[in-house]
């Protein structure tokens, strides 16, 4: 718990530290948040959820200086290696061989060769739900600010999830967090925000 080592990759004939990518650094730091809160077991669906929460906050942090979500970069770890465009995409997980809907969830062996049940593979499903929340619009305006999305997911992982939680548990937690955060808003705004959370998860097949 005292040191993080990121390693290097070949970039145009030179070595580039993986720590050059803010989303990668934020991703790894958020694993520490998960370990200190929900402690999601690093295997199968809970492990994919563990990876997804790090991607979500990596994306939120790395795009923080960009005023409009319309201009956000949805790639994780892009620009680090000449041999790889990026590790993952929140917008379209299928670009990097990840599913983005539960009907395509991959049942892989729970060992190192199977990525501990596909923790880096199936995380694309939950990632895409988060993306859909972030870009959700009503009458041309975003339903959420990035800070509101961050608050929803932070409350979810710190208060509503436990070691073996699933994507469905994350949906329930996010809805509860939204209901708590926005409870004092006028009824129409409250319904709009809570409904946007529910629709995002429904669209990726998480009930």
> What angle, rounded to 10 degrees, do the helices at 167-181 and 123-135 form?
20
| CB 19 within 8 Å of CB 28 | no
The residues annotated as belonging to the active site are 28, 120
Neighbours of 79 (CB within 10 A): 14
How far is Cα 18 from Cα 26, in angstroms, rounded to an integer?
12
How far is Cα 177 from Cα 157, in angstroms, rounded to an integer?
10
Bridge partners (DSSP) of residue 138 are 141
């Amino acid at each position: 718990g005292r040191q993080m080592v990121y390693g290097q990759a070949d970039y145009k004939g030179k070595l580039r530290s993986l720590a050059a990518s803010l989303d990668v650094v934020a991703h790894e730091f958020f694993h520490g948040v998960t370990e200190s809160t929900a402690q999601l077991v690093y295997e199968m669906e809970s492990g994919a959820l563990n990876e997804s929460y790090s991607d979500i906050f990596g994306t939120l942090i790395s795009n923080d200086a960009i005023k409009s979500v319309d201009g956000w970069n949805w790639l994780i770890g892009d620009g680090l290696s000449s041999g790889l465009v990026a590790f993952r995409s929140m917008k379209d997980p299928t670009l990097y061989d990840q599913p983005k809907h539960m009907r395509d969830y991959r049942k892989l062996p729970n060992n190192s060769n199977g990525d501990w049940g596909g923790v880096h593979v199936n995380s694309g499903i939950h990632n895409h739900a988060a993306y859909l929340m972030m870009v959700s619009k009503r009458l041309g305006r975003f339903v959420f600010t990035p800070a509101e999305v961050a608050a929803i997911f932070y409350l979810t992982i710190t208060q509503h999830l436990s070691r073996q939680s699933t994507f469905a548990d994350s949906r329930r937690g996010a809805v509860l967090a939204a209901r708590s955060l926005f409870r004092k808003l006028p009824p129409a705004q409250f319904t709009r925000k809570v409904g946007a959370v529910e629709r995002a998860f429904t669209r990726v097949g998480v009930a």
